[in-house]
Structure 1
């Protein structure tokens, strides 16, 4: 019987806290193993937004032959904070990589994160073979200064960048370059939740640091459209992921030259 893309086959725990779980789906394509996708949801670090946001993408990827790990983590209001939230995602990737489930699904390990999930996936780039960042938060201090997400950074971090510069630097992918990992950034040109200028500045700095980052900015792509598998952009993302083995080879070859 083929796996049901609507139903996870396994739930992994990677810590003692209730949110520290990973729902795992097997590929629904018999004999196929494109690799494993690690999904990291957004929601501006707030507990009321959870991993169910990424289930439509999980089901689509499973149908395309990927195994999928949908990560839950501690957020503001259920034990999260910084660095705990970032550590959770890194711990989840380690748990996935060490699991028997992962060993049964060979191929690249690709992180796909949306909004602050993009932030968290980018910060775990050294553990992944590639990263797809969908409308990512890349600069926590700038997010605070601009009051984005109804002042989400002030709420989550509990201090300003001036009061806690080290925390904001550690939580900002733009301050943790180079990634050293192939990456794709997808960011709608008229996104209001996370302005596309954040990604443009991040990409410019990442490329100056030696990273190879692909970028697409569809004009009409709204913030939540980025995690809609019916979006016209999603087939492009899937196509990019299909080329990850070649991307990994290119980056590793250039870094060893």
Structure 2
């Protein structure tokens, strides 16, 4: 059943009904919160993960957080997700805040960006015992371009062995939550590109044949539950895009849901002071409750 709201969370603060969706500047100007630990998973400057740890010894459920920004270096990344990472840690989740090579950096695009995400996820196995991380409860949470990568990370166990993106025994994901992300790079790439530039996917992929191992829809079914979250006023990935993708996920035999947040735009869902983020945080808690 499709949901157009999360009951309770969306009815916080009556003043939100008169609020304007947040602009890009509000997203970019968020204060950075320092993580508890920084872990390198490669030699490139962007091959790092910030770990935000909740109190207590654990083992803690893990949110793999993937920032957006049109896959481009110009939009930074970790500073803009550090606030919601810290908020999730306060709520009892360990947050694996992933940086990856983006357009404008050597090695970005295909296959480097995808290899980075895969390597960062699989590094969890090495770090889990000493960091108090519960690998039985791992979910991906990504925004915009990171929403695509969150869906792809949950689907990469479906990659053929001859793909440059293939890694044996990838870490399995219990749930994939995409905030204003894209699951069908071919069918919806033109929608995403209106905001990010017509050259985005040509730069990222180079060859259209690479959609076969980078577009989540091409890797269905995954066996992982999918939640597509969109602000009602999202100008980058409007709610209909999530609805269309969920229909394809369900047709492939997987479980999926659409959540549309009223009065929210593209950036409200990743700014920790908004009612939209409160709704997302409750959704994250709900999805982890399913993984117990």
CA-to-aligned-CA distance 1:31-67 (integer Å, 9 cap, x gap): 5654111110011110112221111111111111111
**Other-structure match for 1:253:** none
* Aligned CA-pair RMSD: 2.3
In 2: Cα distance, 1:42 partner to 1:195 partner = 16
- Of structures 1 and 2, the one with the larger relative CO (CA 8 A, separation 6+) is 2
Partner of residue 230 from structure 2, selected from 166, 175, 187: 187
SS in 2 for 1:194: coil
1:120 corresponds to 2:149: yes
CA-to-aligned-CA distance 1:179-225 (integer Å, 9 cap, x gap): 31122211122211123222111100001111111221123211011
In 2: Cα distance, 1:133 partner to 1:144 partner = 16
Offset, 1:155 = 5.4
**Other-structure match for 1:63:** 90
Q: Which stretches in structure 2 are left out of the alignment for 5+ residues?
A: 1-31, 156-171
Offset, 1:110 = 1.5
**Other-structure match for 1:41:** 67
Contact kept, 8 Å, 2:154 with 2:176, in 1: the verdict is yes
Matches within 5 A, 1:102-117: 104-106=132-134, 108-117=137-146
In 2: Cα distance, 1:120 partner to 1:140 partner = 11
Q: Which stretches in structure 1 are left out of the alignment for 5+ residues?
A: 250-257
CA-to-aligned-CA distance 1:11-42 (integer Å, 9 cap, x gap): 11111211110011210x34565411111001
Aligned length: 240
Offset, 1:131 = 1.5
**Other-structure match for 2:198:** 151
Of 130-139 and 5-14, deviating more is 5-14
**Other-structure match for 2:18:** none
